[in-house]
């Protein structure tokens, strides 16, 4: 499959497995084989030599054996999340079957997908997600809305009128500190002096 047609996902762990106690996600294994066919010989050898070791090492995995006359050998794997997989093990030897069963045992039960990235985090920033009340006083939560004080527009820079009034007040202070020689009577005098 090309990467455009193959579904993609981020790295994830099934049910946070491994944070606490590890739980094997493989729930059931069913082996179907023929008792007499030569193509099922590897499955019969696996059952005779390795099946007891596998069941002793993995007590949480249930293994079913189902003989079917004149049918190809199949391995059915069922996981805790309900995902099922069927794999033909016809004409395989017992070592290959051991490897495939171990592969299915170590999988998470999530279908194989292309990884978008090799890492993933549930919290993308350490600081947290920004919201409109992030740097506001917590007392805002107690107000009832609409509120005149909080609804008022607060400009970031003073307007031109405010700047002119500020200059007028500064000049007025300078004149009063110098003495009563010159007096400004209105704001229009400030505009004319500039």
Q: Which residues, other chains included, contact 144 with Cβ-Cβ below 8 Å and sequence gap of 6+?
A: none
**Cα dihedral 152→155→159→163 (10° resolution):** 100
DSSP calls for 41-67: HHHHHHHHHTHHHHHHH-TTSEEEEEE
Q: Cα-flanking dihedrals φ and ψ of residue 168, to 5°?
A: -60, -45
Give CA–CA dist 46/28, Å, rounded.
17
Residue 146: predicted pLDDT = 83
Tell whether 110 and 174 lie within a shared domain: no
In a domain, residue 191? The reply is no
Question: Is residue 77 in a domain?
Answer: yes
Residues 115-166 have pLDDT tens digits of 888 887 777 777 777 888 788 888 777 777 788 877 888 878 888 999 999 9
Q: Is residue 176 part of a domain?
A: yes
Question: 84 and 163: one domain?
Answer: no
Q: Are 83 and 98 in contact (CB under 8 A)?
A: no
- Do 97 and 175 fall into the same domain? no
Contact between residue 164 and residue 190 where contact means Cβ atoms under 8 Å apart: yes
Q: Give the range of the structural domain holding residue 169, as residue numbers without chain letter.
A: 155-186
Quick check: is 61 in a domain?
yes
**pTM, to two decimals:** 0.57
42-88: pLDDT as tens digits: 999 999 999 999 999 999 999 999 999 999 999 999 999 899 999 99
Non-local CB neighbours of 65 within 8 Å, separated by 6+ positions: 30, 31, 33, 47, 51
**Amino acid 10: pLDDT:** 79
Q: Which of 55, 90, 115 is the last residue of a domain?
A: 115
- Number of domains observed in the structure of the chain: 2
Where residue 9 falls among pLDDT bands split at 50, 70, 90?
confident
Residue of 119 and 172 predicted with greater confidence = 172
Specify if 126 maps to a domain: no
Q: The sheet that has 26-33: what strands, in order across it?
A: 62-67, 26-33, 74-79, 84-88
């Amino acid at each position: 499959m090309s990467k455009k047609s193959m579904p993609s996902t981020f790295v994830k762990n099934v049910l946070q497995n491994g944070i606490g106690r590890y739980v094997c996600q493989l729930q059931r294994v069913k082996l179907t084989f023929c008792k007499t066919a030569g193509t099922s010989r590897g499955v019969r050898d696996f059952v005779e030599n390795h099946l007891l070791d596998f069941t002793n090492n993995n007590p949480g995995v249930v293994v079913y054996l189902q003989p079917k006359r004149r049918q190809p050998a199949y391995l059915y794997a069922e996981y805790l999340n309900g995902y099922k997989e069927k794999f033909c093990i016809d004409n395989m030897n017992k070592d290959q079957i051991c490897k495939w069963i171990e592969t299915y045992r170590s999988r998470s039960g999530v279908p194989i997908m292309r990884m978008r990235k090799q890492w993933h985090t549930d919290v993308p920033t350490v600081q947290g997600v920004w919201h409109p009340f992030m740097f506001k006083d917590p007392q805002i939560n107690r107000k009832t809305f609409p509120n005149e004080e909080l609804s008022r527009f607060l400009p970031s820079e003073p307007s031109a009128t405010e700047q002119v009034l500020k200059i007028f007040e500064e000049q007025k202070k300078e004149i009063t500190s110098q003495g009563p020689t010159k007096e400004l009577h209105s704001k229009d005098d400030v505009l004319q002096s500039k």
